Structure 1
């Protein structure tokens, strides 16, 4: 039996819809998230460094909110303010906001540390790299810098063909001179995790697998290496505070509420949660391979 007029009109209307257009419900939800961010905008705009574009930071923060649907309003605000305070985007590269149950937690990554190192006027460049099993490399501590260290990646091979990563390294050029080369192998990174990470120890005790050392070992390995570089480059108050915030974040039982004297109290914000609606599926920040001293906790 031929289709009814109603069916034909419906089919024609559906065929006129542009392909790849997000569902209307998702657009509305995104607008709700944007309104929520804008309503709390003074926290971020007051904290962001001048060189950070406010609109871009808001767009990145907006993309993170779907991953934090079960987190408290207070912990989300605290984590976003921490990102803004240090001028780091919560994009999974400079920093990430990781949900631990109902607590959103600020987690700086190794690129975030490098970003803050570059802000010191004496630092020319900062380099981080991975050495793979089949790469050509040599380290001779007694040789004069920069001839003491050499790394030649096998550019004729894929990463898989170059073999597994065996070493992370980092160094900086400061006033035309190269710093000490910081090197960290996998057993050393594992030792840092086992000895210093309260978050990892807590996850093991509770039989969970949600600490960054468990979900993103290489990212934490890289961050531990770069954090050690902090000891041999010119430091700033901002860089020292980032290390302290990073250490506080490892205690996943609570998110730190003070960032450089800025306090977000329960009285400073409304109790209205982020609109939940039908949450769209969104990849966890930092879930893709990234490519976060004191030691990394």
Structure 2
């Protein structure tokens, strides 16, 4: 290998997406929540892009977009390149049909945000298949009864999904149940439903689970709500019973949604 070849290889490596993540290590470290190990988060981000040709090429199309998507993951404290926060190539009209990187909060990411609020002890989200036994009557049953024959062979096609949370006081949240038609209606609102890279096509069961847990977010405290209460408690220590208007505004998590926002503070891309 000639010296020029080595130099060119180093130049490509040093300006690639992985190198750019490393270059902004301090900025990402400042964004991640305090309970997240910043070095580990950066390593995970680098690992997600390095060695994946499709992601690397899409990131190179617009490195700024890619780094901003990672910024969203860092602010939320979610792991990029996992089911917490997908990184997917997406065709962009603004880039003449070339693919760029789009970040999508996955169902595990939403569950993480719910847990982080500190109000729930467990989150249950499960898919139901044709050969399962599922019983739930609103007003009669506190929680669904879902029986699976784990050793009976094929469970059949996906027919539904449900989600609920057990609060720390032992109470059960609202139970969310979605059937096949409801999940397909959510999928239909996704702009990327026909993309080969969309989680709806690469990991459909995960998107069914996400559809349910997103609806659950309406009924359980979110991380932002928990943070607001902490600010309220701190303000009450500093002054007697301050009005709500005295509290500092909460930063919004801005993630445009195909189907419209579920919650003003947690909105995402894929339904």
TM-score, length-scaled by structure 2: 0.70
Structure 1 residues 43 and 295: CA distance shift in structure 2, 3 A? closer
Residues 150-199 of structure 1 deviation map (CA, whole Å, 9 limit, x = unaligned): 112212234xx2222211111101121111211112211111222x3344
Which of residues 211, 236, 251 in structure 2 aligns to 1:224? Answer: 211
Q: Does 1:177 align with 2:177?
A: no
Displacement after TM superposition at 1:296 (Å)? 5.5
The 5 A counterparts of 1:204-243 are: 209-237=196-224, 241-242=252-253
TM-score, length-scaled by structure 1: 0.64
The 5 A counterparts of 1:137-286 are: 137-146=134-143, 149-158=144-153, 161-174=154-167, 175-194=169-188, 196-200=189-193, 209-237=196-224, 241-242=252-253, 244-245=254-255, 247=257, 250=258
Residues 46-65 of structure 1 deviation map (CA, whole Å, 9 limit, x = unaligned): 10111111222122111222
Q: Which residues of structure 1 form unaligned runs of 5+?
A: 1-24, 252-259, 261-292
Q: Does 1:85 align with 2:82?
A: no
Q: Give the total of aligned pairs.
A: 218
SS at match of 1:140: coil
The 5 A counterparts of 1:44-123 are: 44-65=28-49, 66=52, 67-71=55-59, 72-100=62-90, 101-123=98-120
Contact 2:113 2:222 in 1 (8 A): no
C-alpha separation in 2, matches of 1:98 and 1:222: 19
Quote the RMSD (CA, aligned, Å).
3.2
Displacement after TM superposition at 1:215 (Å)? 4.3
C-alpha separation in 1, matches of 2:38 and 2:268: 31
Contact 2:104 2:268 in 1 (8 A): no
Displacement after TM superposition at 1:214 (Å)? 4.2
Q: Which has the larger radius of gyration?
A: 1
Residues 33-87 of structure 1 deviation map (CA, whole Å, 9 limit, x = unaligned): 6543221112210101111112221221112223232331101100111111100
Q: Which residues of structure 2 form unaligned runs of 5+?
A: 1-8, 91-97, 227-250, 260-264
C-alpha separation in 1, matches of 2:209 and 2:133: 20
* Structure with greater contact order relative to length (CA < 8 Å, sep ≥ 6): 1
